[in-house]
Amino acid sequence: MKKKLSLILAAAICLSLAACGGKGEDTSKSQNGGASSSQQTAGSDLAYVKDKGTLIVGITEFEPMDYKDADGQWIGFDADMARAFAESLGVEPEFQLIDWDSKVMELEGKTLDVVWNGMTLTDDVQAAMECSVPYFNNAQVVIVKKDVADQYQTAESIADLQFAVENGSAGQEVLDGMGIAYTAAQDQATALLEVQSGTADAAVIDYLMAAAMTGEGTSYADLTYTVSLNDEQYGVGFRKGSDLAAALNEFFKTSYADGTMQRIADTYKIGDKLIEQK
């Protein structure tokens, strides 16, 4: 009798545990196929950023997109827009100088949340990151000293120059494609310094930077840009699969419609290259 009673109790306990397990499984499934709501939230970059209260923005020093004012504050078109986007999310922006060649690794390691620094939307970039829609037209241009500029007005004429170019940049990709020798620099500002000091004959940098940083009234008054090597567009990069990209696209639409993007672009004298956001 005792043995039979023990068997009955054991069976009852098993049935009870099975019922509890089944109930937990049912409630954890979402209507669209299986992942729990907590799992979905865990996979959301938007939720992650809002929860920690900061948006970590990866940049290099790149006027007119990201550079410091006299008080040491980051300004520029990208810095101003990143600040406004962070505010729209209810978080604080944190600007972090990065090695441009390591940007994807830093995103994946979550030491950054976004790369927002006049980034060219190359095939490699779009394969490695979740990218925003394009927001600026740009080109890679050749920088030389003014007193020799008339000698370097075609792609053929620059073939034998020794170039400085930012490591991992669109400019480096262009020179690789043309088979032109170069020395890799830490960033575009360093590439300009190389030409200024005479340790390089020329540099390849973004048109928007060249227009802001070379010529009359700038720190590089004796430098100028000549040949345009390509046409390209800027975008903002997030971790692959990040829902922050869609949130930024919507922010771009709103900011363009209310005039904010155009006003900021005009502040930095690059409004003519801004892409309409629809």
Residuewise pLDDT in 10s, the chain (278 residues): 444 444 444 444 444 444 444 434 333 333 333 333 333 345 899 999 999 999 999 999 999 999 999 999 999 999 999 999 999 999 999 999 999 999 999 999 999 999 999 999 999 999 999 999 999 999 999 999 999 999 999 999 999 999 999 999 999 999 999 999 999 999 999 999 999 999 999 999 999 999 999 999 998 999 999 999 999 999 999 999 999 999 999 999 999 999 999 999 999 999 999 999 99
Q: What's the pLDDT score for residue 43?
A: 81
What residue type is assigned to position 8 of the chain?
Answer: I
Q: What are phi and psi of 126, to 5 degrees?
A: -70, -25
Per domain, the residue ranges of the chain are 42-137+234-273, 140-230
For residues 249 and 233, the answer to whether their CB atoms sit within 8 Å is no
β-pairing verdict for 74-75 and 67-68: antiparallel
The superfamily (CATH) of domain 42-137+234-273 is Periplasmic binding protein-like II (3.40.190.10)
The alpha helices in 74-122, defined as continuous H runs, are: 77-89, 103-108
What residue type is assigned to position 126 of the chain?
Answer: Q
Same fold, 42-137+234-273 and 140-230: yes
- Selection from 74, 98, 67, 57 nearest residue 212 by Cα: 67
Q: How far is CA 125 from the centre of its chain?
A: 9
- CB under 8 A, 24+ apart: contacts of 73-78: 76/268, 77/136, 77/264, 77/265, 77/267, 77/268, 77/270, 78/116, 78/117, 78/118
Distance CA 196, CA 36 (A): 58
For residues 115 and 164, the answer to whether their CB atoms sit within 8 Å is no
CATH architecture of the domain with residue range 140-230: 3-Layer(aba) Sandwich (3.40)
For residues 110 and 96, the answer to whether their CB atoms sit within 8 Å is no
What residue type is assigned to position 267 of the chain?
Answer: T
Distance CA 50, CA 113 (A): 11
The alpha helices in 90-178, defined as continuous H runs, are: 103-108, 123-128, 170-178
Q: How far is CA 36 from the centre of its chain?
A: 31
